[in-house]
Amino acid sequence: MPPRFLVFDLFHTLVDGADGERDRVVGEMAGMVGVDPDAFRRAYRDTWDERLKHWSVEETIRILTGRLGVVPSDEAVARAAAHRRAQARRVLDQVAPGTIEALDALRAGGARLALVSNATAEAAEAWLACRLASRFDVAVFSSVIGVGKPDPRIYLAAAEALGAAPGDCVYVGDGADGELAGAAAVGMRVVRTVEHKDTDPTWPGPVIQALRDLEHSPT
């Protein structure tokens, strides 16, 4: 019998993280606001923690260009922000049909599903219109609540919203950001997925090759 409460990571778990595409888009954003693409990409990567918890895409652009000695126009900021938002939508729109089918099968079997994601504000915005959103009862984003994995509070927020104790939940993720240890620390059972990326190969626990395997995974 599949678990009653399932908590999923988003990037590299439900969809590919598209890291290369993101880096390309960030470089294109740099050209729009008049800064060196390599310097902007470095600044973008170095401020991951701030971006995933606190900054909007416009704030990100203004803060990073300011640190690089440039003050772009409002029009340039808006154009670059729209470019990043479009990329966030594309990533979520590329969810595989098999993933949708697996989620629908879990729900049909009575499971309640939550999302817990370390994601910037533009990804949280894009979530609302993507096909995945309707499959989930709960979505908790770091950019909305101001804490990210592996902070216990983000997992506990999802469990509480599901109406479940953490020990009744199974967490499914690729392992980025120490997420598997964080989930286990609050009492969740953990399943690692390698469908999109083998992020945490030393994790000692059940592993699935694809989301469709979850129903038969020992949890």
Q: Residue 81 is part of which domain span?
A: 19-92
Phi, psi of 46 (to 5 degrees): -70, -15
- The answer to whether residues 116 and 198 belong to one domain is yes
Domain boundary among 31, 64, 92: 92
Other CB atoms within 10 Å distance of the CB of residue 46:
12
Domain boundary among 42, 73, 92: 92
Q: Are 85 and 122 spatial neighbours (Cβ–Cβ below 8 Å)? A: yes
pLDDT in tens, 13-53: 999 988 899 999 999 999 999 999 999 999 999 999 999 99
Domain boundary among 92, 116, 137: 92
What whole-number percentage of the chain has pLDDT above 90? Answer: 93
What would the mean pLDDT of 150-157 be, rounded to a whole number?
A: 98
Other CB atoms within 10 Å distance of the CB of residue 201:
9
Tell the burial category of 167 from Cβ atoms under 10 Å away from its Cβ (0-12, 13-18, 19+): exposed
Secondary structure of residue 181 in the 3-state scheme: helix
pLDDT in tens, 53-96: 999 999 999 999 999 999 999 999 999 999 999 999 999 999 99
Domain total for the chain? 2
Please tell me the predicted confidence (pLDDT) of residue 18. Answer: 85
- The answer to whether residues 85 and 125 belong to one domain is no
**AA identity, residue 101:** E
pTM: 0.94
- The answer to whether residues 115 and 198 belong to one domain is yes
